């Protein structure tokens, strides 16, 4: 079969499966997820053997030690993947919720009810655990999935997907509900993007290049985020110790992720707070790059920031700092540099906070809390398949509930249109 045929086959199998998946009960889907977890444990040896092929090929291809570590599976990691599936099974079921109901004048009862979207395509890189996480969240939400992992993990992904699909079918779920694209050709992504009759939405996970390629080619909606230019504004009325703690947490606790802060704005009327924050960060090993006024106002010696620094996602212990003269200036700067994921204001002035929370247009906006809290688990949404900085369908952490849409269920006794 050609690449086109193989991808189309996977996608059309998923479409067929999605028709029956919709009528399977919440209990049966949760039971299937538990059976899938157990099957991973039972077939751990086979999965690790398949992974060894990927590790060997990766070493030969000269993958970095970090890349090889991300790729590697052992008993402990397979167990973690299984536990993650069980946690998904335990989440509240997102399908069949009555989101709203009302009766119209002619007596017709209308309910807006949550239903699965249908078929979700997931395009991802390296880590083989994504295969199970993505399949688990799709099954939880009653969706079939088409998985397309990276070439470096192909043996691991095929092994995991086969174990999961077999266990799902044994638990009464339809064939094809966990479909995987069995080829590693680059063309496969392009084909997958152009099958609107089989795939309802695509979620790409990986580098910005991959995500842009998917978005430019897709004929179905793409739920995505490119990067996290997370920003914090420290207001004139900020509490000093609170500001130090929150900025420290947002930059230092885990700098390599999208909700870690990259740009800091400090009100010119708060030089003491600015100095306290900068000394704390320097002590923690952060390279502080300041605008000219920051350099001037700060007692310590710091690096001068370039314009480019305020548009760079470092994912590292580096922070760009700018002094502003007002909330208005901060809002302007934030709008100019935001990636739309998470932004925070630190202030004891409730009015300033309310304005910030209203006017900043990001998936999550914070008053006096760390941007690092932007996470499906922390938010109580459960496991997440990714994060969305898009402005349709779902925004922020994307969990099982965000993989549903609604239908209108209308119960009548003869109502007609007049």
Binding mask 97-136 for a copy of itself (x = CB under 8 A): -----x-x---x-x----x-xx------------------
Nearer to a copy of itself, 57 or 409 (CB): 409
In the complex, least distance from residue 276 CB atom to a copy of itself, rounded to whole angstroms: 15
Binds a copy of itself by CB under 8 A, chosen from 396, 398, 399, 400: 396
Q: Which is nearer to a copy of itself, 47 or 286 (CB)?
A: 286
**Positive or negative, the Cα torsion across 299, 302, 307, 313?**
negative
Q: Which is nearer to a copy of itself, 221 or 271 (CB)?
A: 221
Q: Tokens 């922020």: give the residue.
A: 396
Residue 368 touches a copy of itself, criterion: CB under 8 A: yes
Contact between 285 and a copy of itself per CB under 8 A: no
CA atoms within 13 A on the CB side of 382: 23
**Best CA proximity match to 143, nearest among 72, 185, 100, 201:** 201
- Yes or no: say if 356 and 334 are a contact pair by the CB < 8 Å rule: no
Q: Which is nearer to a copy of itself, 49 or 357 (CB)?
A: 357
- Across the strands, what pairs with 319? 288
CB 316 to a copy of itself: min, Å: 17
148, containing H or E segment? strand 144-148
Residue 55, Cα to own-chain centre: how many angstroms?
26
CB closer to a copy of itself, 38 vs 217: 217
Compute the distance between CA of residue 171 and CA of residue 158 in angstroms, rounded to an integer: 20
| 279 forms part of the interface with a copy of itself (CB under 8 A) | no
Of 326 and 415, which has the nearer Cβ to a copy of itself? Answer: 415
Task: With beta carbons less than 8 A apart as the criterion, state whether 398 and 385 touch.
Answer: yes
Binding of residue 363 to a copy of itself (CB under 8 A): yes
In whole angstroms, give the CA distance from residue 322 to residue 168: 53
Burial of 2: CB neighbours in 10 Å, binned 0-12, 13-18, 19+? exposed
**DSSP readout, 210-226?**
HHHHHHHH-SS-B----
Report d(CA 305, CA 334) in Å as an integer.
Answer: 17
Applying CB under 8 A, which of residues 60, 69, 301, 413 lies at the interface with a copy of itself? 413
Least distance in angstroms from the C-beta of 269 to a copy of itself: 21
Q: Which stretch binds a copy of itself (CB under 8 A): 38-46, 54-62, 76-84, 353-361?
A: 353-361
Site of interaction with a copy of itself (CB under 8 A): 19, 22-23, 102, 104, 108, 110, 115, 117-118, 196, 200-201, 215-216, 218-219, 221-223, 242, 245-246, 249-250, 253-254, 335, 353, 357-359, 361-370, 372-375, 378-380, 390-393, 395-396, 405-418
């Amino acid at each position: 079969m050609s690449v086109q045929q193989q991808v189309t086959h996977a996608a059309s199998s998923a479409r067929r499966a999605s028709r029956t998946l919709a009528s399977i009960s919440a209990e049966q889907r949760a039971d299937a997820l538990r059976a899938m977890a157990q099957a991973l444990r039972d077939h751990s040896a086979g999965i690790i053997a398949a992974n060894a092929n990927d590790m060997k090929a990766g070493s030969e291809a000269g993958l970095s030690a970090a890349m090889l570590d991300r790729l590697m599976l052992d008993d402990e990691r397979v167990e973690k993947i299984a536990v993650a599936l069980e946690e998904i099974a335990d989440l509240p079921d997102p399908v069949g919720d009555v989101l709203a109901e009302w009766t119209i004048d002619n007596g017709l009862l209308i309910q807006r009810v949550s239903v699965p979207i249908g078929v979700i395509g997931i395009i991802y890189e390296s880590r083989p655990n994504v295969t199970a996480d993505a399949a688990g969240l799709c099954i939880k939400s009653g969706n079939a999935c088409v998985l397309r992992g990276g070439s470096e993990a192909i043996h691991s992904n095929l092994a995991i997907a086969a174990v999961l699909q077999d266990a799902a079918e044994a638990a009464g779920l339809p064939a094809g509900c966990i479909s995987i694209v069995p080829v590693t050709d680059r063309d496969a992504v392009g084909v997958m993007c152009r099958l609107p009759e089989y795939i309802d939405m695509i979620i790409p996970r990986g580098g910005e290049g991959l995500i842009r390629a998917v978005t430019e080619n897709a004929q179905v909606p793409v739920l995505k985020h490119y990067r996290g230019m997370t920003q914090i504004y420290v207001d004139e009325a900020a509490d000093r110790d609170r500001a130090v703690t929150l900025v420290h947490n947002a930059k230092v606790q885990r700098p390599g992720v999208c909700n870690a802060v990259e740009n800091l704005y400090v009100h010119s009327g708060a030089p003491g707070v600015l100095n306290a924050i900068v000394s704390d960060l320097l002590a923690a090993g952060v390279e502080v790059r300041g605008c000219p006024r920051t350099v001037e106002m700060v007692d310590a010696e710091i690096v001068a920031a370039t314009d480019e620094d305020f548009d760079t996602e470092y994912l590292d212990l580096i922070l760009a700092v700018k002094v502003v003269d007002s909330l208005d200036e901060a809002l302007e700067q934030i709008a100019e540099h935001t990636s739309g994921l998470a932004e925070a204001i630190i202030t004891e002035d409730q009015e300033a906070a309310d304005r910030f929370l209203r006017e900043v247009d990001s998936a999550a906006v914070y008053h006096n809390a760390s941007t690092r809290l932007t996470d499906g688990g922390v938010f109580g949404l459960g496991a997440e398949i990714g994060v969305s900085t898009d402005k349709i369908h779902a925004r922020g952490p994307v969990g099982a509930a965000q993989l549903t849409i609604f239908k209108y269920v209308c119960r009548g006794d003869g109502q007609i249109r007049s």
